[in-house]
Each structure stands twice: as structure tokens, then as C-alpha cells.
Structure 1
């Protein structure tokens, strides 16, 4: 379907050919879908290190550079090491950061499978005649942050303006994956006139507009495992990822919308032990989206991590929950401009 929408003459173009009549395409990644680098100054020299995605020393670098705490005064989640700045590389017109997420030689030497979301689509579009920097662009971002934070929204505005001007004033087709759709939705709600000016088509792939109950409930309770099998032993552990996600506004913004008319209401089912009159039994308890908040509070009340010899408490964060409620309001109030073409797949 995507190929038919974007490559009407697919098969007639040889690799490397370009077509001046193609509207520019901007690819927007989802959670975990952007390469992240850390920048730190030591002895007056700036060192830049890949922290996501990497294989060797991945867990160690992740803990040192990406573990964060949410700052309710700014709305940003900030690295525990205050001297560390998290960056998204903008090489290859933004495509490098969302193509193969770990393109290092280590992957090839260890015969690991490459981790990516947009690689095949980028290859397909180039084969259709799209040209990087003229009609094909990418937008990667710090996916720890809120989808309505200035850093992300302003960056998307700049990328849309760049694509529009580079193509000679042609309106942009956005293709967003997963959480990237929420970022675009927040942008559209905050800057509807700008969206209307630069965007003609918007294609969303697996976007959790009303939340992602299964994934996010699990993420807040136990973390996320991005890689399965023996390769997981070389990657960031589920527990390490969990300690990051508890302080990520983007995760709270994908909690299920409790006011949506679900065909089947999302629930968390938990087997819990009960003791009565000296006898222990196990019962299955169910929690709705609103009731699950009390479960998160209880499950995370003793959650903590050790960083630099200091113990840091990481309970369920109600400040982030309140911020996420504001994001949900933005999403619920967003309106698609008239005259455009929009496809949900």
C-alpha cells in the first residue's frame, strides 16, 4: 500500500535515478527508533559516544549516560550525569539516525542481525527515485522526552521547513512510525497553521493514538526487552531499560486513554496471594486504566537504583502523569487540516 502511494511508477526507475516531480518524504521514528549519542567534556575536550543503539558495553554506557530523572520545572527528563548532553546525529539529512540503528563493524563481526525500523523503506524510496536531501529526509529525536516538548516540536518544524524548501516549495508527505505519530499529532495541535502550510499527506504506521496498553503497562512494571535470544546478553537488560522508562514522559503519554470508547476495555490482570484465617489463596485481580495507577504506585513504591554510590528512589512518577494528562488533552483536541490526505495503516 505504501509503495503504491509513494512510488506510482515503481519498477520503472533504476537505482540512483531521481524524479523532480516527487513530493518530499519525511520519515519520523518511534520510541527507541533513533540513534542517540552522548557528549561530555573532559579536560577541555568534548567526547561523543554512541549510547543507543550499541552492542559492546551497551548496558554499562546506558546506565552511565542515559539514566535520567524528570524535572517537573522544565518538563524534560535529564541525565543523572549533569555534564552529559544527549544528541541525535543529523547526518545524511536526518536519515542516518533512523536507518540501521547499530551499523557498527561489531554487528558484522559477531554475525548479529541488524536492528532497524526504516532501512527497507529508505532503500525502497531511493529505488523509486527519491533523492536524499532533496525529496527524502529523516527525523530522529530523543525519545525519552515528552512528545510536546519544545526541543522535539521545534526540531520537527525545522525539518519540515528544510524539506519544503529543498524540494522547491513542494508540500511534504510525513510517514511516522508508532510513537512518532503522537509527536506529529502534538505538533499539529500546537502548530496547525504550520502543519497545513508544509504538509500535504500524513501516513501513520501502528500509531498508538489512544495509548499502547499492553506494551506500556508492561514497560512500567517490568521494562522492555528489545532483543530476544542470546543476543540479549550483549544488549541493554530489561531491568536497566525499566529504570529509564519510569522517568520518561513519552512512556506515560502512551498509557491507555481512559476516556476512549474501547471495544474491549484494556485491563491488567495480576495473580496475587491472599491470606485469610491462616490459609493462603491466589486470586486473579483486574485493573482498568484508571485503577491501574494504584497498581503502578504499589509495584514501584520501593523501586530504586544505585548511581555513583548514591541510592536514587524511582517510584511511579505522578508529576509525569500530570504532564502526560496535558499531552493527552492536546492529542484529543488535535484536528486534521482540510485539504490534506491522511492514511492510517
Structure 2
């Protein structure tokens, strides 16, 4: 539960600062960063996350198409572009994802409690505590994102007086860090003291991602869904997101038991009787299944019908990203902690 008093700015006490602490950068997972749509006239609007008029603005500003030449997914609205706010040294983007809410709700709090607790311990925003939000639609190895991250690492290193940085990443944020490690090894070695990866899907998140690509996903449950982005709207966005394809089962990973996609298929036998058969597909057998399932998928945007099938160009891009991750090695002297769940029974079962 969130600390309801800490939500109110006037409830905060004078900060305690411990100058002996090493700097920390917090990196959220998919959907964990505030995104703003900036118009060609300079108007800014928080487009993610918001709980009112969310679905309409989401489809208008965030629906995208992938450009295989650049590896970037671009919004269909050519008059706006998406930016991650850098307020509070990056912490604003991953603290409370809808700061306009008067009543605090758990669903819009990301690192909120973590940030408040770290401030109590003596961390100071902009000196020893930083955040790094990113556009979750984009590839985890997009060059401009990794350049931004390098600058954030450098800033944290210099602002703290030359102390190496501790990175705390959650979920897909761990894949962004691994991309940086693979492509900016020297900078990682120079600036990083330790890396704590929490629930990072290093081998992919096949169950979740196949569900996303075939049916969409919901970030909220219960009555709050009525105020948020529809599952179908989210589905149509994520089909064009490289980051999602990069979360498919990693073919470079040596599976003890490969994850399977199970599909019930209906057919008729020679006697004309209806029969149902369960077919199973391994990670390297999914391409024709996903292609078939999304062959006729379309969206209507600005009076036009746009085909939105399974994107093989993104699929190929993602395979190259996964090969890159497989080649990453940790510099000597950098401590690494991989925290992940080992049981569905209780969140206390971790390794």
C-alpha cells in the first residue's frame, strides 16, 4: 500500500541527507514511465498514464507504425511526438504515473514508496538518487535511448563526487540495462558499481507476450478498467512495438523445458463428427501461427483502414536484439544481483 501522507507535498519534513551514500538510478519496466505528447505548436499533454479520457488520447497519440530502417516505432499522429519528462532528475517519470489524481491509487504508483523510503534513508534527488524513464514502445537497444542512459550514468557519477552508480532495474528495464552493457561495455565498467535486476525477463516472457500479441493486455483490473485504456486498444499498439517482440522466448537461451504455445483446434473427422485437438508449438515454431492469427488485423485511424498484421520486420529486429543480449558479459568488479520469483504461491519465494 502507498503511504497516503507522503502523497501530499506539505506533509514532507525537512530532508535528511547522508553524504556518504553511493548514487542510485531507478529504472522501471514496461509501461512504468510517464509519457508526454508534444505537438508541433509546443503543447504538452501527459498521454501515459492517465485515468480519464485515456483510451481516446491513447489511440490518437500513441498508436504507431514500425520503421525498419531506423528500428523505431513512430506515432501515427505526425503532428506530435512522444517525450519522457526529465523533471526531478528522471524520478518524476517513474514515481506517480498519474500525478493529477487527488486520491492516491496503487495502480498509478511505481517507484513512489521506494523513492520516499530512500529519501528517509538520506538519499538526495539529483545528487545520489536518479530515475530513468523511457518510451516503452521502442526497442531496448535503440541508440538514442542508450545515449540518454549513458548521460544519466555520467551525471549521477559526477553529481555524487565521482562515486560509481548502483542501478536498480525492474522487469523490462533490466533488458535496457543489458543492451547498454553489451553496446557500451567501457562506460558500464567506468560508471557502474552494482546492478540489481528485479524480475528481469532475461530468457523472455513467452506466456505474457504471446497473450499480448494474440489478445492484448490490461494494465489495470476491476472497476478502474472503465477509466483506462481498453484491452483492444493496447493490443493494437503493442503489435507494432519492438520492445514487445524482444520479450518473446529467447532462442539463444538453453531451455531445460521449452515454453509451449497450446492451441485447441476444431476440425471434423472422416465420419463428419466434430473433434477438438490440442496442438503445441515450441518457440521456433511460432512464426506461422502468429502470422495466421493476425493476418486480417486492422485499425481505423483518421478515416483510413491500416493493416496491422504480425510484423515480421520487428520479429527479425528482435532476434538480433536477443543475440546481442546473449553476447553480453559483466565487467570484473561490478556486482550483479538477479532477484526473481520461484513460486506462484507467495511473492515471498524469491531467489
TM-score range, shorter chain: over 0.9
Q: Counterpart of 1:281 in 2: which secondary structure?
A: strand
Is the CA contact (8 Å cut-off) linking 1:135 and 1:167 kept in structure 2?
Answer: yes
For the 8 Å contact 1:186–1:330, the answer to whether it is kept is: yes
Following superposition, the deviation at residue 303 of structure 1 comes to: 0.6
Q: Deviations over 1:100-144 (max 9, x none)?
A: 111213x52xx7544122111111111111000100000001110
Deviations 1:133-171 (A, max 9, x none): 100000001110001111210110010011001001000
Q: Using the TM superposition, give the Cα deviation of residue 259 of structure 1 relative to its aligned residue in structure 2, in angstroms.
A: 3.5
Instruction: Return the alpha-carbon distance in structure 1 between the equivalents of residues 176 and 21 of structure 2.
Output: 25
SS in 1 for 2:288: helix
**Tell me, what secondary structure is at the counterpart of 2:188?**
helix
Is structure 2 residue 61 aligned with structure 1 residue 61?
Answer: no
Equivalent of 1:157 in 150, 161, 178:
150
Residue equivalent to 1:310: 304
1:48 paired residue number: 44
1:264 Cα shift?
2.2
The corresponding residue for 2:291 is 297
Give 1:72's match in structure 2, choosing from 36, 46, 68.
Answer: 68
Counterpart position of 1:35: 34
Return the alpha-carbon distance in structure 1 between the equivalents of residues 209 and 110 of structure 2: 19
Query: Where has structure 1 moved over 3 Å in runs of 4 or more?
Result: 111-114
**Distance change in 2, residues 1:332/1:240 (3 Å):** same
Q: Give the RMSD, CA atoms, in angstroms.
A: 1.3
Q: Deviations over 1:290-329 (max 9, x none)?
A: 1122211111001110001100001000100111111011
2:324 is equivalent to residue 330 of structure 1: yes
Distance 2:206 2:176 in 1: 18
Counterpart-to-counterpart distance in 1, 2:14 and 2:25: 20
**How many angstroms apart in 1 are the aligned matches of 2:85 and 2:149?**
14
For 1:114 and 1:102, how far apart are their aligned partners in 2? 9
**Is contact 1:37-1:86 (8 Å) kept?**
yes
2:245 alignment partner, one of 226, 243, 252: 252
Between stretches 251-260 and 159-168, larger displacement belongs to 251-260
Matched, 1:18 2:17: yes
Deviations 1:230-250 (A, max 9, x none): 110110011000001000000
How does 1:184-199 map onto structure 2 within 5 Å? 184-199=177-192
1:202 and 1:209 map into 2 onto residues whose CA distance is 14
> Which of 175, 194, 212 is equivalent to 1:182?
175
Give the TM-score normalised by structure 1: 0.92
Q: TM-score, normalised by structure 2?
A: 0.91
The answer to whether the 8 Å contact 2:107/2:220 transfers is: no
Q: Which residue is equivalent to 2:337?
A: 343
2:136 is matched with 143
- Please say if residues 216 and 255 of structure 1, whose CA atoms lie closer than 8 Å, have aligned partners that are also in contact: yes
Aligned equivalents of 2:69 and 2:52: distance in 1?
35
Q: How does 1:100-115 map to 2 (within 5 A)?
A: 100-105=96-101, 108=103, 112-115=105-108
Distance, in Å, in 1 between the alignment partners of 2:89 and 2:252 is: 39
**Which residue of structure 1 lines up, in the alignment, with residue 8 of structure 2?**
none
Q: How far apart in 2 are the matches of 1:209 and 1:260?
A: 9
Gaps of 5+ in 2: 1-12, 340-351
- Which of 97, 122, 128 is the matching residue for 2:115? 122
> 2:229 maps to which residue?
236
Deviations 1:14-69 (A, max 9, x none): 9721111111000011110000000113xxx3211111000111000000000000
Moved more, 329-338 or 270-279: 270-279
Say yes or no: does 1:275 pair with 2:268: yes
Would you say how many aligned residue pairs link Structure 1 and Structure 2? 326
3-state DSSP of counterpart to 1:46: coil
1:131 and 1:259 mapped to 2: Cα distance?
Answer: 40
